[in-house]
Structures are given as C-alpha cells and as structure tokens.
Amino acid sequence: MQTRLSVNVNAVAMLRNRRDLPWPSVVGMARIALEAGAKGITVHPRPDERHIRRQDSRDLITMIREEFPGKELCLEGYPDEVFLALNEEIKPDQVLFVPDDPMQSTSDHGWDFEANEALLKNVIARVKRAGIRVSLFVDADPAQPAKAARVGADRIEIYTGPYGGCYDDPIKEKVCLDDVVTTAVAAREAGLGVNAGHDLTPDNLPALIERAPFINEVSIGHGFTADALIHGFVGSVKRFQAAMGEIDE
Ligand SMILES: CC(=O)[C@@H](O)[C@H](O)COP(=O)(O)O
Ligand SMILES: NCC(=O)COP(=O)(O)O
C-alpha cells in the first residue's frame, strides 16, 4: 500500500491574508499540488480564521469534486458547533478532530480520551451520519489507539511534532520515532486506519515510512511550504513522494 500525501495549505492562506487581495490563491495552489500528484488537501479552519477561512473550505471542496474525482479534502478542527456545521454543509472526505483551544498557536497534543469520551462519541456519531470518515489526533503513545477505537473513530492521526522537533538530535529522534511506530502498530491492531502529521519533512519521512509502510496518509503543511519556497509546489510534491518511496505516475 502506498501512503497518500495530503498537502496542507494553511500557510498559503496565511500569506494571502497579509493583504486584502486574493493571492496567493488557496484553491490555485491546492490545484497545482493535486495536478502534481498529491492525493489530497488538508486545511485547518481555525475559529479566528487567521489562515484558512470557512469560505476556503467551501471553494476547495467545489474544486476537488469538479476537477479531481478520487482525491480528498480533510478538514481539521476542534468539534465546536461552527466546525461541525461546516462539515455537515460541505461533507469533506475526512475530518480530523483536534483538542485545540482557540488561543493555541498550533496543534501540539492529542486527545485526553478519559476527559472527552462523551463529547467524542457524540460528535463522531454526528459527522458519520453525514458520511464523513473520522480521524482523531492522538499523542504518540501505543495506549491511545484502543481508546480512539472505543469512541468510534475510523482512523487516528499520530501527532508527529516531537519526532519533527528532534531533527538535530539523532538519539532523541530514534526514541520519538519508536513512539510513533509503536502507536501506528497499535492502531492497526485496533482495526483503525493510521494517519500521521505535524512537522514532517523530506528528511524525516523516509525512516517513518520504512518502519510503518502501512500508514494510510501523511498531511504536511509547514515543512512542505518551507521546501516549496526552494523547489516550487510541483517540485516539493515530487520530493515528498520520493521521500515516501512513491514511484512517479
Ligand atoms: C493538526 C495538525 O497537526 C496541524 O499541523 C495543523 O493543521 C497545523 O495548524 P497550523 O497551520 O495552524 O499550525
Ligand atoms: N495534520 C497535520 C497537518 O496537516 C500538517 O501539519 P504541519 O506539516 O503544518 O506541521
């Protein structure tokens, strides 16, 4: 099975929002990534719309449904009423529920399942009624996937921030990678699909995919955008695909 690359375009929206102008175009850059071979687009419409706006999500689903059948849109967010209603309106292929506080600068931890069991069961059942696949953001800890399965998730997304943060310390990096891999194995054993994301790069992806080739999807934004400033969006799709061992079509 080939791990699918979903390009996160939050940073494109952040750049656009510096001006009251429509460029760089979120839909336009997403189209370039999909034409280059990415299998999906991920966006995180945060409550303050500091990068992706809810309207971007609507424009993206229209473009993907019209131009790229079989490719996917993933919406990420905390399951408040506004986010749940947006999901029911546009029906993305996948939703990733994250436990983020609105004031948080980025996603930096997975769910506390004990504290949020009732909430998660309720919101997962709700978006599944709209036909959306549900993934839950979890810490790299092999105890977490079974808890995600119990509340009804289809997949987990392993928070790989600590692994990405060890880029300059090979010993810590190996420990963090072990945590991600054992969590991925536990998810597979629990019957869940496995995604991974946060601070993945062309340097740290090969070791991850080599040890967990059954990962369904990686979503990559910050590292992708940094790479694309040098290599361009098309070039970076190819570079990330190569890092995952994907043969160019
Ligand atoms: C869920 C996750 O891991 C994220 O990386 C998130 O999409 C990043 O959000 P920001 O782009 O707002 O930092
Ligand atoms: N789900 C993780 C994601 O979409 C991208 O995270 P990052 O590469 O911007 O850290």
Domains in the chain (CATH in brackets) are: 4-243 (3.20.20.70)
Does 129 score more than 60 pLDDT? Answer: yes
Mapped onto helix, strand or coil, the DSSP state of residue 151 is helix
Q: What integer is the mean pLDDT of 92-109?
A: 96
CA–CA separation, 88 and 166 (whole Å): 38
In 174-201, which positions are buried (b, 16+ CB within 10 angstroms) versus exposed (e)? eebbebbbbbbbbbbebebbbbbbbbbb
**Residues near ligand 2 with C-beta < 6 Å?**
8, 42, 76, 157, 197-200, 219-223
Give the whole-number percent of the chain exceeding pLDDT 70. Answer: 99
Q: What's residue 247's pLDDT?
A: 75
Closest C-alpha to 136, from 119, 147, 128, 148: 148
The closest residue, in CA terms, to atom 6 on ligand 1 is: 107
CA–CA separation, 125 and 123 (whole Å): 5
Closest C-alpha to 72, from 123, 133, 24: 133
Q: What integer is the mean pLDDT of 148-176?
A: 97
Does 249 score more than 60 pLDDT? Answer: no
Q: Is 198 among the catalytic positions?
A: yes
The closest residue, in CA terms, to atom 3 on ligand 1 is: 198
Measured in angstroms, how far is the CA atom of residue 223 from the centroid of ligand 1?
Answer: 11
Task: Count CB neighbours of 26 within 10 A.
Answer: 27
Mean pLDDT score of the chain: 97
Of the candidates 44, 157, 173, 217, the residue annotated as catalytic is 44
Of the candidates 173, 198, 217, 246, the residue annotated as catalytic is 198
Does 130 score more than 90 pLDDT? Answer: yes
Q: At 33, which amino acid appears?
A: A
Q: Is 231 among the catalytic positions?
A: no
Please give the backbone phi and psi of residue 70, each rounded to the nearest 5 degrees, phi first.
95, -20
The closest residue, in CA terms, to atom 10 on ligand 1 is: 106
Bridge pairing between strands 193-197 and 40-43: unpaired
Does 174 score more than 60 pLDDT? Answer: yes
Measured in angstroms, how far is the CA atom of residue 63 from the centroid of ligand 2?
Answer: 21
Residues recorded for the chain = 249
Q: What's residue 248's pLDDT?
A: 64
Provide the whole-model pTM.
0.97
The closest residue, in CA terms, to atom 9 on ligand 1 is: 106
Q: What integer is the mean pLDDT of 85-97?
A: 98
- Helical segments of the chain, H only: 10-16, 26-35, 54-67, 81-90, 113-129, 144-151, 161-165, 170-189, 205-211, 222-243
Candidates 12, 57, 198: which one to mutate for ligand 2, based on the most atoms within 8 Å of Cβ?
198
CB–CB of 187/197 below 8 Å?
no
Measured in angstroms, how far is the CA atom of residue 195 from the centroid of ligand 2?
Answer: 11
